[in-house]
Structure 1
């Protein structure tokens, strides 16, 4: 019996799952999602789960608003995804970073005493200069989101294949023919590549360089520490003011009574996947970055004492993919009819994923334009992931937020 579908989605992270759910809702027909591992096991497993809006574009802001409403609806309808709309707070450890923070970040400035009150004492007033509270921020637990979306996808009639690695996309006469997998081909009328760090290899075989660079990040979680469930997501800034660029920014949130934290470190293995093969599982990556996060957490304990009480630590690695202009890559892959890509999360796939998924589903089923996110908008400017990283660093250097 032939293995076929109308649309195949490659990748079972939050972005791929959100797209698959929206395709079903849009009446796209027989939708098949194919995942090399289990759902939510790639970069989603290392997701911080915070909801904000950092991009200076209305399309991204609309996607962020849609995402918050989408997650709220999931929670209200009985899917426990850990959704909370209690805001997020940037906390300044010292005077210099405090002045930079209030000049750069929009939100409500808080005194040190107000920071202590809002965090229920988790961040004592004596240890900080102040904070900025962004009230429309929120948080979810990324792996729980993946589980909830997979359940909805199946309930809506979608077919989900896990532990079925995709090896290639085959074409005939300039059009997609099938998704080739280790368990045989799946004939399809259209395919969406939403495989995160693995996406570039699939599009490269189709003759298109995907201008997205995977950069390693890691998250750490602890056993229960009696952390209050009302704690907003925290960004601890100015912990290493003597280091270049202010050092590693530490984000911290409550999860099941314990702490979940991580940071965007610049040390090895941040760029180990640039222009290199991506391993089958991200837990095979080196832990040097985790050691950097633990070092920064040690300094963060001066601001948030609970960070010193860590034990029974659990670690997850991710490889979010960055683009030269920090905007997503969504739409048709040039040169091959019926192939689309959903990529370039820019370390904010949880925030924007549902909005991006809806946008691409609308494009595929109704022809809604996606010009602002076109994958080929850079032309031939980039041919390597190192060039993408260099362009991103140059853009960041032109406008550096406090750290």
Structure 2
């Protein structure tokens, strides 16, 4: 235990990192019964990438800086699924393939999957097995553990946007001002703050901590697009990373994740735009969505209207990209009682639960114990 346990911990951001931090703080054995925990979210839980990303998980695809965190968090996903019933949020292990397709010339290779178009796949190799890759529906996961967090004593969820942070004479958090959804302002007395606002973390940090400290915590957003399609027949438990050449010679690299609910999530980049002020203002590019539909149909006729496919969603989200090229996880330098968990890029769903667990350990025990995050210090 730290010398004096926190009185009130505020986590800003209702995505997978913020919710996981809130959950693991609320259930940690070292948590004092007097410690209040509040989750502050601008719109709704999983309003951004945590609600609209693919939910692909990989255990051993990571560089040295994040390898320990990723492996721990991948195993943590499995533990949580076993404890609470992962089918509630679409957890399952999967096979993962890399395939190269070329519609301009016919392949003599047999298709690696029965639902891929014959004569299309020119090369195929395994990237992961049921031991090393898995998937979740990230929005369902994040909402489930938000509810679990709120089942714990002295916990709450506030809808609002943080506008300023007041520090005491020792440089520790004293209160946070925030604007509620109805436009009214309110103050919340706190002594510990966690910044976990996804791609908005950079602007939030600068707003609350100023340019000298917060300006060094740069996190920006990169827009990614996706479509969710429901096929007539359920596809195999497989995730695909593709390199496609279309009939017209155009190229694409969509990722294709078949889900256990009978839907398939297909995503790709393209038509990036500056990050809007709020998650509610994020919208997809019609051109990027059209490209994804075209690529899906070229990959397999199971994604065609002739085969009865149903379009469930056409959407976009912004991945949180740290300026330093690696996640920012830990205690913020130059100020007391402020922590950060952001910038996890495309690995936010894999690393999110682990990020929450190590932040809870740092706040309540003084150091991370479950993973080595020494190269991720902000």
Q: Fold-level match, TM-score > 0.5?
A: yes
- Between the aligned partners of 1:353 and 1:73, the Cα distance in structure 2 is 14
Residue in structure 1 matched with residue 339 of structure 2 by the alignment: 340
- The correspondence for 1:196, drawn from 198, 209, 212, is 198
Residue in structure 2 matched with residue 212 of structure 1 by the alignment: 219
Matched, 1:374 2:377: yes
Does the CA-based 8 Å contact 1:251-1:263 persist in structure 2? yes
- Structure 1: tracts of 5 or more residues without a match: 96-110, 376-403
RMSD (Å) for aligned C-alpha atoms:
2.7
> For residues 101-250 of structure 1, what are the structure 2 equivalents within 5 Å?
112-113=109-110, 115-116=112-113, 121-133=114-126, 134-135=128-129, 136-157=132-153, 159-173=155-169, 174-183=171-180, 184-205=186-207, 206-207=209-210, 208-209=214-215, 210-228=217-235, 230-239=236-245, 247-250=251-254
Matched, 1:353 2:352: yes
Aligned length: 341
User: CA 1:5–1:123 in 2, change beyond 3 Å: closer, same or farther?
Assistant: farther
Does the CA-based 8 Å contact 1:175-1:337 persist in structure 2? yes
Higher strand share: 2
- Between the aligned partners of 2:153 and 2:336, the Cα distance in structure 1 is 26
User: CA 1:304–1:154 in 2, change beyond 3 Å: closer, same or farther?
Assistant: same
Matched, 1:21 2:23: yes
- Between the aligned partners of 1:204 and 1:364, the Cα distance in structure 2 is 22
TM-score, length basis structure 1: 0.77
Residue in structure 2 matched with residue 74 of structure 1 by the alignment: 80
SS of corresponding position for 2:46:
coil
SS of corresponding position for 2:145:
helix
SS of corresponding position for 1:23:
helix
User: CA 1:131–1:217 in 2, change beyond 3 Å: closer, same or farther?
Assistant: same
- Structure 2: tracts of 5 or more residues without a match: 1-5, 181-185
**Comparing 341-350 with 210-219, which one deviates more in the overlay?**
210-219
User: CA 1:299–1:40 in 2, change beyond 3 Å: closer, same or farther?
Assistant: closer
User: CA 1:296–1:161 in 2, change beyond 3 Å: closer, same or farther?
Assistant: closer
- Between the aligned partners of 1:321 and 1:366, the Cα distance in structure 2 is 28
- Between the aligned partners of 1:158 and 1:317, the Cα distance in structure 2 is 35
Give the deviation of 1:271 after TM superposition.
Answer: 3.7
Residue in structure 1 matched with residue 302 of structure 2 by the alignment: 306
Give the deviation of 1:286 after TM superposition.
Answer: 4.3
TM-score, length basis structure 2: 0.82
